[in-house]
Chains A and B, each alone.
Chain A
Amino acid sequence: MTLTTDEFVPSSGNDDGAAQLLTEQEQQWVDKFMDETTLFLGPDPAIMRHHEIMPRTAYEEKCISEGIDPLEIDRIRKRLAGALDEAFEMCESMGAAPGAKWADLSCAVYTAEGDVTYLSNRGVIAFSSVLHHPIRYIMKNWKDEPTVGINEGDGFFHNDSRFGMVHNTDQSMLVPVIRGGVIIAWVGATIHEGENGACEPGGMPSGSETPFDDGLRASPIKIVEKGHLRRDLLTFLQHSTRDPKLMLADIKVKMGAVRRIMDTVDRLIDEVGQETFVASLRVTVEDVETEVRRRIGELPDGTVTFNQFVDSTLKENILIKFACKITIKGERMIVDLTGTGPEILNRAINSPLASTKAFMVQAILSYWWPDLPRSTGAMSPIEVITEEHSWADAGYDAPVGQSLQASFRGFSALQSAFAKMQFSAPQKYSNVVAPWFNQINDFLWGGTTQNGEQVGNLCADLNGMGGGAKAFRDGEDAVAPLFCAMADIGEQEVMEEEVPFLQLVSKRLVRDNQGFGKFRGGMGYEMMVASRGTPSWGFMTVTSGSKFSSVPGMFGGYGCPVYPLAMVKNVNIYDIIKKDPTQFNLSMERVMNEQPFEGGDYQSSHMGLQFDVAKEGELYMIAQGAGGGYGDVLERDPELVVTDLELDRISAHTASTMYGVVWEPGTYVVHEEQTAQLRAQMRRDRISRGTPYKEFVQKFVQEEPPAELHYFGSWGQDDDENLIATHWGGAEPERVKGKLAELPLIMVPDRRVLKITKLEARVRELEKKYGEVVAHKS
């Protein structure tokens, strides 16, 4: 495969200096040969590794030089924003994908070179902000390619995140704006479609072990030719996934939405002229970049470090680091991910660099500077240092089916660190806020519906993440996913008409599921599902954070708890409830602790569940996550504590031992004096049990992780270039150390094989113990 042709450095095979360099003619021959013999055009590093806005083209320069009226440009922006919002609503109203119905989409206008000028106000910023990559790919490779070309009415489709996409569940429609044979802009729509033919239904396979398990791998292809949907390619796409109806419907929806944006674009160009239109797109991108530099300059110079530790490959528990140091110097900002653990070549959690950066844009435009026009210019001035083949910057051969595990950490790194970066800034554009929850604690599902259709997708509950506490108020419960400020958690009853399972418990808050603090994080709720009336069905879950909290708190506040997956197999809850309706009193706590259903197999596990066949009435239970808390728990208003207690949001144990509140049982009246005394004592207890830092470090800090921990990443922050990893080169895992490029390829053995090996050893041990002679044949 040729990744790129323009970065190819010809060599005669002899390093003997200038005398051996190719002549111009020879270079042309080599270039021609390479162009004609390229096996195929994969992701182009010259495109994929850069997020900066493109230099002005000669045409843009000409358009701008003709003069700019800022008021007119503002009017154009507002018209575009209106058109994009209208297109957004079209996708939301007509989209067949569950994600579309809950705002998991976005629409955008791009410059001719692919820089995002403006996104719809609602929707997922990250979706559109990554699409400069495929546009540049199309412009570089297909514009002058005789078998493809770009003409009026054409539309390009792609979903492979290695070409620039948040993840492979998303599908785009990119359409050029052409005047006089010249491409002057692009418009596009992207929807989280879900099902994509991956090794598991729903498009986000936690079980993928190679890129081929990730499902459809569409590089940018021309699916619409001069206004007509190409049926041969459409058929291919429909045959490649489990839900052909979804594929057809939403390609048409995106075509319609893009057409609506084009109507406004056409009218605008007629009204203001082509040059003014092009100038306005370009100036917007440049203005945002200029403003971002100025805002960086308002922040204090220094370095903020925020490390995250992720506890799962989604098949087994490990601990892999997402390191991040953010340095500000004047108007420069450098985000350095050195120290981040290596890619794991047979696990789904790796993320392409562009996807990781897309979620950095999400943090910048949603949580740092939400007032800015949503443009590529927002990320452009920020320098990012990563190492290719880390799990946040995965190589071509790494599976990326659940890339959100790494890319969401790119979001959290920027969102969380910003509280410290901006705290002392005199001018703020967003509130000081604790970390947002960052996992999609949700059920994915697939199988045959009660209507006889094959489907694979997910519940809307991924949009119910708990918000981080603000510096002056509690975080909001189940308010919004980190990737979409105004998403919806859907109407379960509506969904039940289309899918064969019920949410027997839905949206019930779990007591103590909080990030405690002076202001607590928004809470998450529990969900309990069971299939019904289907010949074949299954569920999956795709998140980490069952052993190590996914988000911490801020300035003394605590993070979220961890989240298990709980299941009761070998029961039919519908039969049980029919026989005894009092058993409908369901909660994860009661069901798992009391084990009330005879014959049930009660299980808990981490939240990486590969497609699990769900027989009718078997229970699957999870909880949505909480946002981080803000500030010292002992500063929380006691009245807020007893309010949470009265509403059963926290336990009495938490109210007294965590928050130090004394109250009158029954009336929930706070005993102020006793509370003050208890809190004063708790502060004295802290001073008494705390150890001076240097003494503590001497005792606590170890040279390397505990031996039994399968660890990946730097240890500490003084030597982030040197990583620790766990390598299964032989029968037992061994710890390896070195720079990323020096480490062996990391692959994790099949956990079922390991379990069988362990059980076989135990069998032999027992045979020996009891003197039983068994001939074992392999």
Chain B
Amino acid sequence: MRVPMTEYLLIDLDTERWICRICAHDFGDARGNYKEGTLVYDRDPTEIHPPVIDPEKYEFTFSPDPTFCRILEFYCPTCGTQIEAEYLPPGHPPTVDMLWDIDSLREKWEIHGGNPEEVINYGPGENAETDLSAQFDTSSAHSHAHRTEGH
């Protein structure tokens, strides 16, 4: 049984591993920190939030100050999906943002009885209905590029 835990991460309750929902990359022990299985990049925030007013003339420009703020980008090592983008002071340890009780998770889904990949959606409302099943199981979606650019 696999439980979608975020937009891009599943927990496989049989193997107790964090799995990429896009490409099945194994990020590690589901009882631990999924970030340990990612690639990380220390992004200069001015590259993401470019200045609107001239940085040559002004200190405050719409761009974060790189001496105050960095953006850590966490990538899936196999498909390159950006799983998380964390805003941190330079040198601050990355946040262990989620730690789950796997025994409890398994128990709750056993009691529920449904398939999490079919049951879970984005909440109330018709437009929140979605398919959060593993992308790597869908033969037509084996090509990640095809899946995302096929609009």
Contact = CB atoms under 8 A, between A and B. Distances in A.
B64 A686 contact: no
Nearest to B37: A693
Contact of B62 (A513, A653, A672, A718): A513
A515 to B, nearest CB: 10
Interface string A662-689: 0000000000100110011011111101
Contact of A423 (B6, B36, B45, B65): B6
Q: How extensive is the interface on chain B, given as a class?
A: 35 or more
Contact of B64 (A548, A700, A708, A717): A548
B6 A420 contact: yes
Interface string A682-705: 111111011111101100111011
B93 A429 contact: no
B95 A690 contact: no
Contact of A472 (B36, B39, B122): B122
B6 A555 contact: yes
A559 B87 contact: yes
Interface in B34-82: 35-42, 45, 48-50, 52-54, 57-65, 67-69, 71-75, 77-82
A683 to B, nearest CB: 3
Given A424-B105, A429-B123, A431-B125, A556 B53 contact: no
Interface stretch (A35-43, A437-445, A625-633): A625-633
A687 B144 CA distance: 15
A430 B81 CA distance: 26
A314 to B, nearest CB: 14
Interface string B79-96: 111111111111111111
Nearest to B71: A558
Q: Which of B6, B90, B108, B149 has the most CB of A within 10 A?
A: B149
Given A306-B97, A471-B122, A702-B91, A604 B53 contact: yes
Interface string A705-727: 11011010001111000000000
Interface in A272-286: none
A332 interface: no
A473 interface: yes
B64 A547 contact: yes
Contact of B41 (A638, A684, A686): A686
Contacts of A556: 7-8, 74, 81-85
Contacts of B91: 700-702, 704-706
Contact of B50 (A319, A471, A512, A557): A512
A566 interface: yes
B64 A431 contact: no
Nearest to B78: A687
Given A547-B68, A679-B145, A687-B77, A426 B52 contact: no
A604 B54 CA distance: 10
Nearest to A689: B41
Contacts of B84: 555-556
Contacts of A676: 145-146, 149
Contacts of B130: 471-472
Given A679-B148, A686-B39, A706-B67, A305 B96 contact: yes
Interface string B114-141: 1010011111110110100000000000
Contact of A430 (B62, B94, B123): B123
Contact of A302 (B101, B144, B145): B101
Interface string A635-647: 1011100000000
A210 interface: no
A562 to B, nearest CB: 5
Q: Which of A511, A548, A705 has the most CB of B within 10 A?
A: A548
A319 B89 contact: yes
Contacts of A717: 93, 95-96
Contacts of B149: 638, 672, 675-676, 679
B151 A562 contact: no
A206 to B, nearest CB: 16
B44 to A, nearest CB: 12
Given A472-B122, A557-B85, A658 B48 contact: yes
Given A556-B83, A693-B36, A716 B93 contact: yes
Contacts of B35: 693
B40 A547 contact: no
B36 to A, nearest CB: 5
Contact of B75 (A429, A658, A687): A687
A303 interface: yes
Contacts of B42: 696, 700
Interface residues of A, number: 107
Interface stretch (A11-19, A48-56, A585-593): A585-593
B100 A300 contact: yes
Nearest to B81: A632
B3 interface: yes
A592 B83 CA distance: 37
B93 A697 contact: yes
Q: Which of B48, B82, B124 has the most CB of A within 10 A?
A: B82
A457 interface: no
A630 B7 contact: yes
B67 to A, nearest CB: 7
Contacts of A261: none
B50 to A, nearest CB: 6
B68 A690 contact: no
A83 to B, nearest CB: 28
Q: Which of A309, A696, A705 has the most CB of B within 10 A?
A: A696
A483 interface: no
A165 interface: no
Contacts of B92: 701-702, 705, 715-716
Contacts of B120: 423-426
A526 to B, nearest CB: 9
A428 interface: yes
Nearest to B79: A683
17 contacts: A305-B97, A309-B89, A510-B62, A561-B64, A562-B62, A562-B65, A595-B57, A604-B59, A634-B148, A676-B146, A683-B79, A690-B73, A691-B40, A691-B41, A701-B91, A715-B92, A718-B93
Interface of B: 3-8, 11, 35-42, 45, 48-50, 52-54, 57-65, 67-69, 71-75, 77-101, 104-105, 108, 112, 114, 116, 119-125, 127-128, 130, 144-146, 148-149, 151
* CB-CB nearest 9 A-B residue pairs: A690-B39, A683-B80, A702-B91, A564-B60, A301-B101, A302-B100, A428-B123, A431-B123, A301-B104
Interface of A: 300-307, 309, 311, 317, 319, 329, 420, 422-426, 428-432, 470-473, 510-513, 516, 518, 546-549, 552-559, 561-566, 588-589, 592-593, 595, 602, 604-606, 623, 630-635, 637-639, 651, 653-654, 658, 672, 675-676, 679-680, 682-687, 689-694, 696-697, 700-702, 704-706, 708-709, 711, 715-718
Given A422-B123, A553-B85, A555-B8, 14 more contacts: A426-B116, A510-B52, A512-B50, A556-B85, A588-B52, A623-B62, A632-B82, A635-B81, A690-B40, A691-B41, A692-B40, A693-B35, A693-B94, A709-B67
